[in-house]
A = this chain, B = another copy of it.
Amino acid sequence: MRPADEQLELLRRGIDAITPEAEFVKKLEHSARTGNPLRVKYGIDPTGIDVHLGHTVPLRKLRQFQDLGHTAVIIIGDYTALVGDPSGRSDHRAGLTKEQVDANARDYLAQVGKIVDLSRAEVRRNGEWFGSWTFLDVLDLTRRMTIGQVSARDDFAQRIRGEKPVYLSECLYPLMQGWDSVEIRADVELGGTEQLFNLLVARDLQQEEGQLPQVAMTMPILVGTDGTQRMGKSLGNYIGVAEPPETQFGKLMSIPDGPMRQYFTLLTDFPLAEVDALLGPGFNPRDAKEVLGKAVVSQYHGTEAAEAAALAFRRRAAGEDPVEIPEAPLGRDQLDADGRIAPPKLLVALKLESSTSNARRVIEQGGVTIGPDRSPVTDPRGPIAVEDGLIVRVGKRKIARVRLA
């Protein structure tokens, strides 16, 4: 194992806070001295998540711990997920079924496996322990927290001030999450900054159970591709880990300049000095974003796919046809005796437009070109001669190569 101070320097990258940092240093030193890895916890409820780059921030940190020789412990909150979102419900147990939860957990782990080395990680489901709890066990847990403590939590305090309901069930979540730490004897727990309260609850529980309390390592919230709001699926400003390389690359090229440093810091391993150079004097946003895009995409699709995505993006930006043009079949019986077809009919047959009226409009707007020399097609009524291999373009994105059949 590397010396504790070296580990600390690496692990401090991109984090928001370590609470309390002095304890973390002691834990690292003890671990480096004895060779006992730290147990680093990260938990998530399998409620059907498309993992996006925002989620990868703590997951990448988890991986970093693994690479330094520590133990990653992933908690799947299968038990809590069975309950579902409590807000505004009056019906019984409206959460997910056991089957849904299991399927979600599998799906989630498949995505997580792109970031964390699952072969070296401990994956635990909190149903392992909570599944056999009785009412008395729960009562016992709820003796560990007061209304005052719960109300001090930022998000709850806001809702209480706004006279929005905070259900007692929601107060149980931090206790459950905290108990997970007791069960797995966590040394460190990772989470977003908004998780700090929950991460500290575990400390009290662990101490009451005679364990050394865990350290909370909180990570900043990644902004979305809009550059302002938190990345999230519902806001449509996210980049999914499972999205194709071209999509990921294109979205990364679209971000504003503002969040670039955050993206480099949190989503890549680029030495921060190099990041400074890239974003410093003479900064070229386009080039810097290409570096960023390749670095991120290669993590999920490999270097080759990342390079290809970058190339395709460049060609499209330069108005060039992509390297690989999808082929579209066209029956010869659709052509007239002279081998010609009306342009709207052609676009629909090639599935470039959904209706002839749409096709007619885009032709009249000058959005259609054909052939290597990009001849414009502007008259919907003037039939065009079609040969096998003819390239047809609609707007900037849609393209097809005719395959006569």
Contacts and interface: CB of A to CB of B under 8 A. Distances in A.
A147 B172 contact: no
B208 A139 contact: no
A153 B136 CA distance: 24
B135 A79 contact: yes
Interface in A123-167: 130-131, 133-140, 142-148, 150-151, 156, 160, 163, 165-167
Contact of A146 (B90, B142, B166): B166
A92 interface: yes
Interface string A38-81: 00000000000000000000000000000000000000000100
A186 interface: no
A172 B135 CA distance: 10
A10 to B, nearest CB: 38
Interface in A170-226: 171-172, 175, 208
A169 interface: yes
A28 interface: no
Contact of A172 (B137, B142, B150): B142
* Copies held by the complex: 2
Q: How large is the interface on A (under 10, 10 to 19, 20 to 34, 35 or more residues)?
A: 35 or more
Contacts of A137: 135
B148 A150 contact: no
A135 B146 CA distance: 19
A225 to B, nearest CB: 35
Contact of A133 (B134, B147, B150, B168): B134
A221 to B, nearest CB: 25
Contacts of A156: 147
Contact of A142 (B140, B144, B145, B168): B168
**Which 5 pairs across A and B sit closest by C-beta, in order of nearness?**
A142-B168, A146-B165, A142-B169, A143-B169, A147-B166
